Structure 1
Amino acid sequence: MPELIPPTTTLHTAFRDCRTDWGPGTHEDGFGITTTDDPDTPAGFTTWIHRITTRPHSTPRWIVEDGHLLGAITLQHRLNEQTGHIGYGIRPSARGHGLATWALAQTLTLAHTTGLDRVLLLCASGNTASARTIERNGGTLAGDNGHMKRYWITLGNGGAPQPASTSPIN
């Protein structure tokens, strides 16, 4: 069973395996890697983990199962119109099993406990898998400029919307 955990330096090898699965030159959504980070070396990895885990108003989580890093999801406690409140990504070999839907549902509950009553999520207009993930968790399309879709999820009535499943499909 997967779990959401804070990023940790103990998973450097698992992170490198996950990054290899993504392939060179691609952006791993949800991990918070910038062009100035060097997560491939032990020292750079430690520095990066420290940066993302001490950022104010942000809660990063890694999706881990049996020591394997399957993806990441990050909650921004304050609205950023360019990135939304929540960003996530699942490594290519782990996609199609409901992990993103499950992780988003868990993160919506966390968002509600931090005092948010609604969250903005963005996804590329052509990313139908991400759009379905957001819609399964109660996302309402607020706009599509042909490049990016904007969804709002309302977290009222004492908690996050109930997803179709409380655990990923295996």
Structure 2
Amino acid sequence: MPQLTTPHVRFRASFADAMKEFEAEGRGAVGDDTSIGQDLRRWRRRWHDPAVFASYVAGLRAEADETIPMIRPGRVHCTTLWYVDGDTYLGRIAIRHSLTGWLREQGGHIGYDVRPTARRRGHATAMLRDALPVARNLGLAEVLVTCDHDNAGSRKVIEANGGVFEDRRGLKLRYWVATGAGQA
């Protein structure tokens, strides 16, 4: 049964395969400013080294620790969880603890990606559903989730999780999703 989990080195082989799938669809190219795009450009040639992958995983985990100052400009603390089935990496979801101006306009509190060979199976809907209590535990009563205006699949994922449309800003649709904070 697929579940969210903290990033761990045991998923290295499956994670690397997933990143190759993302790369094959054009992710990681110059101009891809998504988390996966940035990670591909920064790490893809080094993930094969177990020590480097361990450093990557440790960095993801450290980004969630609010007692550690963020060293990369423009970044906020972020809890990254991987969606796995056994030892198979299916995707990731990132829960940003706060919003910068850009995140408020474009990126939102939560971003998610499902590897291409695992899409259209309900994983993104389940990932977002399972991440909402994590966001609630971070003190977020509601989260901003955005998607490209032409991404019907992501729009359905957000709406299936109670997303309430606020507006469109440029190419992004913006939704607010209650996390259940304050509910009995």
TM-score (norm 1): 0.83
Paired position in structure 1 for 2:145: 121
More displaced 10-residue stretch of structure 1: 8-17 or 76-85: 76-85
Check conservation: 1:30, 1:89, Cα contact below 8 A: no
Letter in 2 for 1:46: A
In structure 2, the residue corresponding to 1:116 is in which secondary structure?
coil
Q: What are the ranges of 5 or more consecutive residues in structure 1 without an aligned counterpart?
A: 160-170
Letter in 2 for 1:26: R
1:104 CA displacement: 0.3
Compared with structure 1, are the counterparts of its residues 93 and 46 closer, same or farther at alpha carbon in structure 2 (3 Å cutoff)? same
Q: Are 1:41 and 2:65 counterparts?
A: no
Q: Are 1:94 and 2:95 counterparts?
A: no
More displaced 10-residue stretch of structure 1: 2-11 or 150-159: 150-159
Root mean square deviation, CA, Å: 2.2
Check conservation: 1:4, 1:62, Cα contact below 8 A: yes
In structure 2, the residue corresponding to 1:59 is in which secondary structure?
strand
Q: Work out the CA distance in 1 between the residues paired with 2:35 and 2:124.
A: 11
Paired position in structure 2 for 1:165: none
Misfit runs of 4+, over 4 Å: 27-32
Check conservation: 2:61, 2:79, Cα contact below 8 A: yes
1:23 CA displacement: 3.2
In structure 1, the residue corresponding to 2:95 is in which secondary structure?
strand
Compared with structure 1, are the counterparts of its residues 23 and 33 closer, same or farther at alpha carbon in structure 2 (3 Å cutoff)? closer
Count, aligned residues: 159
Letter in 1 for 2:27: T
Residues 135-150 of structure 1 aligned to structure 2 (within 5 Å): 135-150=159-174
Query: Structure 2 residue aligned with 1:51, among 23, 43, 59?
Result: 59
1:46 CA displacement: 2.1
1:14 CA displacement: 0.8
Check conservation: 2:4, 2:83, Cα contact below 8 A: yes
Paired position in structure 2 for 1:62: 82
Q: Work out the CA distance in 2 between the residues paired with 1:48 and 1:147.
A: 31
More displaced 10-residue stretch of structure 1: 2-11 or 40-49: 40-49
Compared with structure 1, are the counterparts of its residues 34 and 19 closer, same or farther at alpha carbon in structure 2 (3 Å cutoff)? closer
Compared with structure 1, are the counterparts of its residues 157 and 96 closer, same or farther at alpha carbon in structure 2 (3 Å cutoff)? same
Residues 103-114 of structure 1 aligned to structure 2 (within 5 Å): 103-114=127-138
Check conservation: 2:78, 2:94, Cα contact below 8 A: yes
Q: Work out the CA distance in 1 between the residues paired with 2:35 and 2:126.
A: 15
Higher helix share: 2
1:131 CA displacement: 0.7
Paired position in structure 2 for 1:166: none
Compared with structure 1, are the counterparts of its residues 157 and 49 closer, same or farther at alpha carbon in structure 2 (3 Å cutoff)? closer
Query: Structure 2 residue aligned with 1:85, among 103, 109, 121?
Result: 109
In structure 2, the residue corresponding to 1:112 is in which secondary structure?
helix
Q: Work out the CA distance in 2 between the residues paired with 1:93 and 1:157.
A: 34
More displaced 10-residue stretch of structure 1: 101-110 or 26-35: 26-35
In structure 2, the residue corresponding to 1:15 is in which secondary structure?
helix
Q: Percent identity?
A: 33
Q: What are the ranges of 5 or more consecutive residues in structure 2 without an aligned counterpart?
A: 66-76
